Amino acid sequence: MQLSEVGKGEAAFRLAKLRAQQILAASSDPLEHIRDFEHLWFECDYCEELQDYGNLDDDVYVARYMGKSEQEIRVWLIERLKKLAAA
């Protein structure tokens, strides 16, 4: 087994990917976990690798403000998590 060092951004992305896989595998409500990605993004100093996922909480806020239903938002979030989990 060979170990290698990865940068903070890559490590944060790998953790986010793992978290997305866990949420999807547990069929958990994605709305309950959007702050997980924000926290990780903050901890990696707003790394570029998590730019599309670190602000999911803000995206959900805007979607609600625009009149999207909770179910529409969940479907959208699940698709985002699937994309991340498959990356």
How many C-beta atoms surround the C-beta of residue 11 within 10 A?
Answer: 15
Give me the long-range contacts of 56-65 (CB less than 8 A, separation at least 24): 56/80, 60/31, 60/34
- pLDDT tens across 34-44, in order? 999 999 999 99
pTM beyond cutoff 0.95: no
The radius of gyration computed from the CA coordinates of the chain, to the nearest angstrom, equals 14
How much is the pLDDT for 77?
A: 96
How much is the pLDDT for 4?
A: 82
Q: DSSP label at 46? A: S
Give the pLDDT band of residue 6 (cuts 50, 70, 90): confident
How much is the pLDDT for 3?
A: 80
**Token digits of residue 59:** 């995206």
Q: What percent of the chain has pLDDT over 90?
A: 92
pLDDT at 70 over 90: yes
Question: Between these two residues, 4 and 17, which has the higher pLDDT value?
Answer: 17
